[in-house]
Amino acid sequence: MQMCPQCSRDNLDPARFCGACGEPLQGLLGVNTLLQSRYRVTKVLGCGGMGAVYYTLDTRLGNRPVAVKENLDTSPQAQAQFQREALILAQLRHPNLPAVSDHFVESGGRQYLVMDYVEGESLETMVQRQGPLPETQVLAWIGQVLNALDYLHSQSPPVIHRDIKPGNIGVYAAGYSHHRTQPGPPRQPHTHPTANAHPSGRWRPVGVRHRPRWFHGDLHHPTRRHRAAPAHAQQRL
């Protein structure tokens, strides 16, 4: 069986489109797939051309929710890069980054990264739902994103976020404090930003999201990524 990337409904393996919503299928895992005799996959959180992220229960730790990222590229080069990235990300510890706790390879060559899960929504989704946000709130969040980027760039070698955008900034309910990280090799790693709590706000971005995606082309200097953040802040106002 394979889940639909849009509605998470199970479909037969030969199916090309979801029988419930009509979405094209991508050969994802089925509902209740058990990885490493430990991680029980329950639904799809997100899916792209090179990978997927699943809401998963850690059965060894009382069904604790975790986010499991799947790399769909099984080429030797992609697998080697994914493993390098996992080792780097596992060393990151920051209030705005989700912690990586496990990495493994299943039969067929697909690789998986286990990370902290925090319930919330992307800044992009929030703006689509609410419209422009208050300036003071946006500035507070962007400051937290820059703080996370500064931490990433201070690593040796630097971890460079190459995809800063509202869809990669997670906003989580007040009261949460969490770490988040994302895969990227020593010279090309990238993460997805989220920020930390602000005492005056009901919502706060928490952690930098990471997606199982591979980089192509020239690397970006860290200062260029810092300059991207204000542009996205202006877009949210």
Q: State both tokens at 220.
A: 């970006």
Cis peptide bond upstream of 157, omega within 30: yes
- Cα–Cα distance measured from residue 151 to residue 68, given in angstroms and rounded to the nearest whole number: 24
Q: State both tokens at 223.
A: 């200062």
Contact criterion met (CB below 8 Å) for 166 and 134: no
> In which region does residue 115 sit, left (phi positive, over 0), alpha (psi from -120 to 50) or beta (all else)?
beta
- Cα–Cα distance measured from residue 193 to residue 160, given in angstroms and rounded to the nearest whole number: 11
Q: Which of 58, 73, 116, 163 is catalytic?
A: 163
73 a catalytic residue: no
Please give the positions annotated as active site.
Answer: 163
